[in-house]
């Protein structure tokens, strides 16, 4: 797996999430995706339906414009497995002021044939 | 990879951590291991030296007895890659009373030849 | 009892609760149902009339759209008795923002002839 | 199942827990027992090993004397299944003063042949 | 005194209170009724005039709809004296949300000839 | 029933409680006594065993000296039933300083043959 | 002095205060009346002018309806002197909800010829 | 009644209270004395026994030395009735530092034959 | 100096302050008046200009009606010097409710020829 | 009156207070001295006995060494009357650290024949 | 330098500041003026441009009327150098109420030829 | 490198930031600029895109007028490298009041040929 | 005045203060020195006696070792007047840990003949 | 400059700081080093003497053992200038527990001939 295309794939995946584009999200995710999102619940979430509702309801207040900044990125690649880790700074306007969410993320990407799919996500507080 | 042996491997790995057995920890970890531990710092930590100091200084107050309980365990296996996720409840005595730490963990295990190695860890609050 | 049909039965039962459909709720519950709901009162509640009022008055703010996500599900089946346990994440919009309730639930289901009925419910905080 | 013998069985089971008698606890519990204890973690716990450590370390400060009071008891019996619900008031001395824990409990008891076993426990705050 | 008719009498009495029907309240109460209501004052109140003002001014916000749920009921009957004890859960809408008051109550009922009268009430916090 | 002897009976009963004299307490109480004590739990307590443990362990810190003062006393007598209501001020030394508990109490006394017995107690905050 | 007429006199006096009828207040008070009202100031107030301003400005929010309840009343009469003590519960509507003030009061009444006059008032918190 | 002798009588009475001299207190008080002491309870106390316990147990921490200062004194005398009002500042050492209690007091004194007796006391906060 | 005329002079002086009548204030004050007003600043203020601004801007919210009550008044007179001390309770309406300011005041008055003038003011908290 | 001798007189007076020399305090004070000390009570204190107790018990923690600093001093002299005003900073050691009390003071001094006497004191917070 | 003219100069300088008259401020200040204003920043500010922005934007809410009161003034004059120190009380209306800022100030004034210029300002909290 | 032109360059650079002029910002910054801004995130930010979004959305509320004040400036110059350090006080109007941000800044400037470029920024709290 | 010798003079002066050397402090200070020290009192202090007591009692906890660091120093010199301004960081050990006080200071130094003397000090918070 | 030797140089420099080896610190630092350390003061510190005192007094509690972990390291090299940026996690034992300080650091290193010297340091919070 080529690292540059991995980050490009990730960019597409993240943009889908924050712009509410469920179709692209679904294409870039494995249907049995597992997640830990501490700000929702201290439990593993499985499958895509939970986030479908989230994305359709603008959960991150980003549908009117946002900026994604990834910092301290690292790709660990083992054959068809890539472990992407980074700090995500998502900026958006809230009541006329810019606010930032800062989150540490792991996204594990697997290459099935020619297709990349996110199979696992783990988030924790980035500040 | 056989799921039962994966969990057995994990058990050995975790026991090393909480009993302060750095040698076993080192054997079961990749030398370029990456970690996110929100309770230490909101930054990725790399390599093994950081935890060597931690384990030698009884960071989790568990060297005099503890109990590890894994709940809601799941193994996602893709060829030589295994993504183990679970909630860890670690119990120990603090000033005469039992206390519990509850943590959600991802540990990614890669099979190099015949050897399993943890290559990535991500923790977040489990309660 | 077939596990798949048990979860399907549960899905119907839970959907009735959050959409305010008392009729279906009544059909899927035993008339002497007992409940513990710590957020209402630290007392056992018996019968169906209490929740009739609740459901008719949109107690969970879900009548305009919601998403039910069950995680870490387990069914213990002993002859005609099924003990269903799971973590329920109920998502809904509150003042324009998505909110989540996270609850651990036990629902005991008994098969009377060909009919399944919930006979007991116990809830506790899921975060 | 006779109701009186059910409560007698429960009394024996509870006394084992608070006096630290793991052997009796094990005899009266199914080996795949499931539990929700909100004061430990918002996760289901499975099996007996977790509580073995708890009981051996006097988790409830009751090993030097205590009083168990069950109030508002109810038994729902369906063939070989009994759902016992009640409010437990456990009294004990802490630093020279009596303190009380008040907990609502469900314990599901199944009759396997001639033997009663607790198969599921759910606790929530009783005050 | 027949227990069923006692609870029926109580139901009529409580409905009068929460719907603001002073006339029925007066018929079911002794004119020298005594009360302890800790949420009003830490003093015994005597007679009916105090509650007349209360009921005419919708003190419990229930005049537009409410649900009464009695749980853990007990009747102690000694000749013409009945001591009714129970936990009262009163549900009503406040600013669009359901709220619950939970109160432990004692109501002592005396049979004068063929007429039942409440002669004493004592309330305390039910949660 | 003569009012003076009722108060004398009550005095004996209360003195037993605060001096830890269970024998007298038992003689003056019905074996199926019911109680509401909001400071213990928001649940009705039944029988005498709960208070046996309390009294043997000096629950009110009064075993080394105390003063009972009853104020605003009232006796409602209906044939063999007496409803005694009053405010109890119990004074005792705590770490060298006098402290006071102030409690409103109802105690219902029934005459069985020639013997008076307390059958019900309800307490609520007196300040 | 007849006790019944004393309480009737007091009723008239109190009604004047809460309905803002200064004329009646003046008739039933000695012109050199002394008062302690801890909620105004920790100082004795003398004469009637201070309360004239109070009553004309609806100090207790009662001019649109109120209920006076006196409990635990006692009259100590020594020749032409009466010491009236009681707990006053004054109920009134504040922003659509009933509120209660609870005050312990002493009012000393002196009979001058045929006329009763309040000569001294002392109030303290009744809850 | 001569005003000077009234204050002298009061001085004797107050000194008895703070030095723990119950005998003198009893001589200067009517056996049916009534009191309001907001810092004990929001209830009228009657008789002398309550304060006997108080005085024997150094309730005001004054048995090792104190200073009584009366300010803003006033005597209202009507035949055999005297209403004494004043602010009492009681100073004493607490853990090596001087502390002050400031209390507004009414004491009503009645002359029975040649003997003065306090028949009523009302206290409220003096700062 | 006659005490009655002193208090009359003071009344005129105080009325000027709270009604915003600077002219009268100036006539009754020495031009080199000194003041301590802890609620303005912990510094002595000198001259009249500071209060001119205060009075013209309704500093005490009293321009629409108020009541002045002086309690515990004392005049110490030494030849042409009078030291007037008292507690001032100033009542006024604030957002529809009566409020009270309670202040201890010293005002030193000197007789210059036939004219009285306030030469010094010291205020401190009266509650 | 000579201003220098006035301040010298004051120095002697203040030194007496903080060193606990009651004799000198008495010589420099009028026996009917009046005071306002907001930190003791919001009431005027009269006479010398109150402070005798204070001074004998080291009320200001200064008996082992202190420093008096007067700042912003002013003397207003009218014939035999002197109004001394100043900010007093009293420094002393408390648990090994220097602490400061800062108080604004008025002391009115009258010349009786050849003797100066303080007749009135008013203190308020100096920071 | 004549002290009277110094204070007159200061008055002109301060009036310029609070009325927003930058031209006069500039004329009375040295172009290299240095300042410490703790409420802006814990750093020395140099030059005039910073305050130009402040004054043009009504930083002290005084442009619609204010009163300046200087108390405890002192001038230390050494040849052409004058150190003016005082407490400044600035009063102004804020939302209909008078508010006061109290600041201790040093302003060092140098005479250059015939012109006075402020060269340094240091402010600190005056209460 | 000439120090004066360095500060002039910085002025241009800072003005661009607070007036939202991204073009000038880009011209004066290296494309691989690195930054630490503790108020955004505890992570190094790289490149220019993050601040493009910030500047286009008026992140500092300064687009309608502001004042930049640099104090305690220092330039360390080593060949083509300049380390500029200073405290930045940025003033602006927020809801009608002037507010100040105070920040300590390092900006490292490198001369590439004839062009100055900021290559690194580090900010920390200036108060 | 030579700037270097001014800072040397200041160093000597400050070292005297923190090492408790009053003699040197006195030699380097004018006997009529004025000071503002906001942490002592919001009042100007005059003369040397106040600090004599301070220095003899180790007011700054520095007598066992300390470090003085002056930063951002500036000397404004006008003939025989020098205005020294700087931020003082004073470091010392407190209970085994280093602590820092940070203070902004103005010290005005005047040259009298050949001798430098501090005539005025103004301090304000440096962080 | 070779990047590896730069990080080796930094390691030596940091080890000197936390082990209290001032000599090595001095060798690796420019004598005119500048620093911003927000946890000491919001002011730039210059020179080496300030940290000499710090290091000799174990300011970071690390003299008995510590671990340095650098994460997210970056070196920007421009000719003889290197800008090293990283997150420093310093671990040490405090009262028997491991604690971590997390700091973002910039250290600018200049090559003077063959010698590397740190010339500037800027720290800010790393969590």
pLDDT tens per residue across span K70-86: 999 999 999 999 999 99
Q: What are phi and psi of J126, to 5 degrees?
A: -100, 5
pLDDT tens per residue across span H24-82: 999 999 999 999 999 999 999 999 999 999 999 989 889 888 999 999 999 999 999 99
Low-confidence residues of chain M: pLDDT under 50: none
Provide the sign of the torsion angle of the four alpha carbons K35, K36, K41, K42, taken in this order. Answer: positive
Instruction: Name the residue of chain E whose CA is nearest to F32's CA.
Output: E76
Cα–Cα distances in Å, from B114 out to B1, B5, B30, B111, G49? 10, 12, 14, 6, 99
pLDDT tens per residue across span A29-49: 999 999 999 999 999 999 999
Distance CA F46, CA F23 (A): 18
Q: Is the pLDDT of residue D31 over 90?
A: yes
* Cβ E41 vs Cβ G89: under 8 Å: yes
| Residue H7 confidence class, pLDDT cut points 50, 70, 90 | very high
Instruction: Name the residue of chain A whose CA is nearest to L49's CA.
Output: A69
pLDDT tens per residue across span A12-26: 999 999 999 999 999
Min Cα separation K40/chain L (Å): 7
pLDDT of residue I11: 97
Instruction: Name the residue of chain F whose CA is nearest to E79's CA.
Output: F80
Set of chain L residues whose Cβ sits within 8 Å of the Cβ of A67: 49-50, 52-53
pLDDT tens per residue across span J87-102: 999 999 888 889 999 9
pLDDT tens per residue across span I3-45: 999 999 999 999 999 999 999 999 999 999 999 999 999 999 9
pLDDT of residue M64: 82
Low-confidence residues of chain B: pLDDT under 50: none
| Residue I64 confidence class, pLDDT cut points 50, 70, 90 | confident
Distance CA F107, CA F122 (A): 7
Average pLDDT, consecutive stretches of 10 residues, N- to C-terminus, chain G (127 residues): 95 97 98 98 97 92 92 97 98 90 98 97 97
Distance CA F122, CA F103 (A): 10
* DSSP 8-state assignment for residue H64: T
Taking CB atoms and an 8 Å limit, are K100 and I45 in contact across chains? no
pLDDT of residue E115: 97
Min Cα separation C4/chain E (Å): 35
Taking CB atoms and an 8 Å limit, are M91 and N44 in contact across chains? no
Strand residues in I7-114 grouped as ranges (E): 29-37, 44-46, 66-78, 81-94, 97-112
pLDDT of residue A127: 95
CB-nearest partner of C57 from E98, E102, E126: E98
pLDDT of residue C96: 81
pLDDT of residue N63: 84
pLDDT (average), residues J14-43: 97
Taking CB atoms and an 8 Å limit, are I44 and J119 in contact across chains? no
| Maximal C-alpha separation, chain C | 46
pLDDT of residue B9: 98
Distance CA C109, CA A32 (A): 28
Fold assignment, J3-125? Nuclear Transport Factor 2; Chain: A, (3.10.450)
pLDDT of residue I96: 81
Distance CA D83, CA D99 (A): 28
pLDDT digit of tens for each residue in chain C (127 aa)?
Answer: 799 999 999 999 999 999 999 999 999 999 999 999 999 999 999 999 999 999 999 899 898 889 999 999 999 999 999 999 999 999 998 888 899 999 999 999 999 999 999 999 999 999 9
Taking CB atoms and an 8 Å limit, are F72 and H44 in contact across chains? yes
CB-nearest partner of K43 from L67, L71, L91: L71
More confident residue, D26 or D64: D26
Of A40-49, I74-83, L54-63, the least confident:
L54-63
Distance CA D33, CA D36 (A): 11
Do chains A and F touch, with touching meaning 3 or more CB–CB pairs less than 8 Å apart?
no
Tell me the domain boundaries of chain M: 3-125
CB-nearest partner of N85 from L34, L125, L126: L34
Min Cα separation B86/chain N (Å): 26
Set of chain D residues whose Cβ sits within 8 Å of the Cβ of B71: 41, 43-46
Q: Which of A39, A90, A92 is nearest to A63 (CA)?
A: A92
Distance CA B17, CA B15 (A): 5
pLDDT tens per residue across span E76-123: 999 999 999 999 999 999 888 899 999 999 999 999 999 999 999 999
Query: End-to-end distance of chain H based on CA atoms, in angstroms?
Result: 31
pLDDT of residue E120: 98
Distance CA A83, CA A104 (A): 13
Set of chain C residues whose Cβ sits within 8 Å of the Cβ of E125: none
Taking CB atoms and an 8 Å limit, are F50 and D69 in contact across chains? yes
Structure tokens at N90: 């310093």
Set of chain M residues whose Cβ sits within 8 Å of the Cβ of J102: 40-43
pLDDT (average), residues N40-66: 93
Min Cα separation E94/chain C (Å): 11
Residue of E40, E44, E77, E123 for testing the chain F interface, max F β-carbons within 10 Å: E44
**Residues of chain K contacting M, Cβ within 8 Å:** 32, 34, 36, 38, 42-44, 72, 74, 76, 78-81, 83, 85, 87, 102, 104, 106, 108, 110, 119-120, 122-127
Of D36-40, G58-62, K33-37, the least confident:
G58-62
CB-nearest partner of K71 from I43, I54, I59: I43
pLDDT tens per residue across span H19-32: 999 999 999 999 99
| Residue D64 confidence class, pLDDT cut points 50, 70, 90 | confident
| Residue E16 confidence class, pLDDT cut points 50, 70, 90 | very high
Distance CA I91, CA I94 (A): 10
Taking CB atoms and an 8 Å limit, are H91 and J49 in contact across chains? no
Rg of chain C (C-alpha set): 14
Q: Is the pLDDT of residue F85 over 90?
A: yes
CB-nearest partner of H124 from G36, G85, G102: G36
Chains near G (3 or more Cβ pairs under 8 Å):
E, H, I, J
pLDDT of residue G1: 79
Q: What share of chain G is helix, strand, coil (3-state, %, to 5)?
A: 25, 50, 25
- The mean pLDDT value of chain M amounts to 96
Instruction: Name the residue of chain J whose CA is nearest to G42's CA.
Output: J42
CB-nearest partner of K80 from M44, M79, M119: M79
Chains near C (3 or more Cβ pairs under 8 Å):
A, D, E, F
Q: What count of CB pairs under 8 Å joins B to N?
A: 41
Distance CA E21, CA E38 (A): 23
Query: In b/e form, how buried is each residue of H8-29, taking b as 16+ CB within 10 angstroms?
Result: ebbeebbebbbebebeebbebb
Burial class (CB in 10 A: 0-12, 13-18, 19+), A23: exposed
The C-alpha angle with vertex E79 and arms to E78 and E83, in degrees rounded to 5, equals 40
* DSSP 8-state assignment for residue K48: S
């Amino acid at each position: 797996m080529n690292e540059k295309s991995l980050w490009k794939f990730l960019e597409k995946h993240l943009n889908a999430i924050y712009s509410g584009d469920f179709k692209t999200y679904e294409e870039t995710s494995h249907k049995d995706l597992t997640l830990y999102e501490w700000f929702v619940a201290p439990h593993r979430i499985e499958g895509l339906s939970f986030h479908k509702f989230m994305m359709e309801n603008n959960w991150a207040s980003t549908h009117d414009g946002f900026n994604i900044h990834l910092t301290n990125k690292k790709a660990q690649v083992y054959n068809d497995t890539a472990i992407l880790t980074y700090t995500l700074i998502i900026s958006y306007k809230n009541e006329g002021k810019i606010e930032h969410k800062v989150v540490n993320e792991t996204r594990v990407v697997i290459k099935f044939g020619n297709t990349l799919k996110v199979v696992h996500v783990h988030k924790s507080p980035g500040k």
